[in-house]
């Protein structure tokens, strides 16, 4: 599990909770930096301020829920209030503390690869706020999808939030796509780390996919795409259902 010095995101959300002030700096492995002041607005957003596609995604949640990458707990808290049993996980120790403080009933310090049958069977897995991108690579994504297939009920669903990497006009992002092609990687695969005050995360892999790439990715994993929410401007949620045997 990550150390305190590596828990840049956790310190970011913890400071926002305690002081009402934080920011987010992200460094990409090609040397590109982005700084987002008031980044808390998305992590602590109330339902009325969510993206429309995430609001619509809530209609697809059923039964017992696993919230992967819970952050500050916004999705878990909403679903708890709707009567769902929710297990929230995050690999950030301070994010876990933030979720506890805010009232998430079952929050665990677990990474997305450490989920096991000991946690029980889930009817819905949510990976919202672009959290499906945490799969990192296509190979790892397929392995995780097969793993999650065995941890869900016959009616299991995954709400997979990611973003089309090509829905951008930023020349630095377009150059990065070409940088990836030269390295033999998919254009939407990237490595970043989060910087905050004196804290610095380890390098993290993300995978952003077009809708067509997502359809191809799920082939052979036991899942199929039943619906796509959003996608017009980039971000979207793919509703994954189990294929009938």
User: Mean pLDDT by 10-residue block, N- to C-terminus, for the chain (245 residues)?
Assistant: 95 93 93 82 92 97 98 98 98 98 98 95 97 97 98 97 96 96 95 96 97 97 97 96 85
Quick check: 164 and 209 in contact, CB under 8 A? Answer: yes
If you ran DSSP here, which 8-state letter would residue 158 be given?
E
Whether 237 maps to a domain, the answer reads yes
C-alpha distances (whole Å) from 16 to each of 19, 37, 176, 210 are 5, 11, 31, 33
Supply 102's token pair: 């805010």
Q: What is the CATH number of the domain that holds 85?
A: 3.40.50.150
DSSP letter for each residue of 46-77: -GGGS-HHHHHHGGG--SSEEEES-TT-HHHH
Q: Cα–Cα distance between 131 and 163 in angstroms, integer?
A: 10
Quick check: 161 and 131 in contact, CB under 8 A? Answer: yes
pLDDT at residue 42, as a whole number? 87
pLDDT at residue 37, as a whole number? 72
Residue in the block written with tokens 């450490």 = 114
pLDDT at residue 21, as a whole number? 85
The CA radius of gyration of the chain, in Å to the nearest whole number, is 17
Q: Cα–Cα distance between 225 and 39 in angstroms, integer?
A: 31
Quick check: 9 and 196 in contact, CB under 8 A? Answer: yes
Whether 12 maps to a domain, the answer reads no
Find residue 36's DSSP bridge partners. 24
Domain boundaries, position 222: 55-188+205-242
Quick check: 29 and 89 in contact, CB under 8 A? Answer: no
Helix 93-102 vs helix 8-19: crossing angle, to nearest 10: 30
Whether 95 maps to a domain, the answer reads yes
- pTM, two decimals, is 0.95
Supply 58's token pair: 């809530």
Q: Where are the beta strands (DSSP E) in 91-151?
A: 107-109, 122-127
Whether 64 maps to a domain, the answer reads yes
Residue 5: exposure state from Cβ atoms within 10 A (0-12, 13-18, ≥19): exposed
Q: Cα–Cα distance between 224 and 94 in angstroms, integer?
A: 35
Find residue 241's DSSP bridge partners. 157, 224
Whether 160 maps to a domain, the answer reads yes
Whether 137 maps to a domain, the answer reads yes
Whether 2 maps to a domain, the answer reads no
Whether 41 maps to a domain, the answer reads no
Q: How many domains does the chain have?
A: 1
């Amino acid at each position: 599990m990550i150390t305190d010095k590596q828990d840049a995101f956790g310190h970011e959300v913890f400071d926002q909770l305690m002081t009402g002030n934080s920011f987010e700096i992200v460094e990409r492995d090609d040397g590109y930096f982005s700084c987002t002041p008031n980044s808390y607005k998305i992590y602590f957003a109330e339902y009325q301020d969510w993206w429309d596609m995430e609001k619509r995604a809530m209609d697809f949640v059923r039964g017992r829920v696993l919230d992967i990458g819970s952050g500050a707990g916004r999705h878990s808290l909403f679903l708890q209030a709707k009567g769902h049993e929710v297990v929230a996980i995050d690999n950030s120790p301070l994010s876990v503390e933030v979720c506890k403080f805010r009232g998430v009933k079952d929050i665990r310090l677990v990474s997305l690869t450490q989920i096991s049958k000991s946690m029980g069977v889930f009817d819905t897995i949510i990976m919202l706020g672009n959290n499906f991108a945490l799969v990192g690579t296509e190979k790892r994504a397929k392995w995780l999808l097969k793993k999650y297939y065995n941890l869900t009920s016959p009616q299991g669903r995954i709400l997979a939030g990611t973003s089309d990497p090509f829905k951008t006009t930023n020349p630095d992002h377009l150059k990065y796509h070409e940088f990836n092609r030269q390295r033999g990687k998919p254009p939407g695969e990237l490595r970043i780390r989060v910087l905050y005050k004196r804290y610095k995360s380890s390098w993290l892999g993300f995978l952003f996919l077009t809708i067509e790439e997502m359809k191809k990715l799920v082939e052979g994993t036991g899942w199929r795409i039943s619906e796509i929410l959003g996608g017009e401007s980039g971000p979207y949620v793919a509703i994954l259902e189990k294929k009938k045997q």
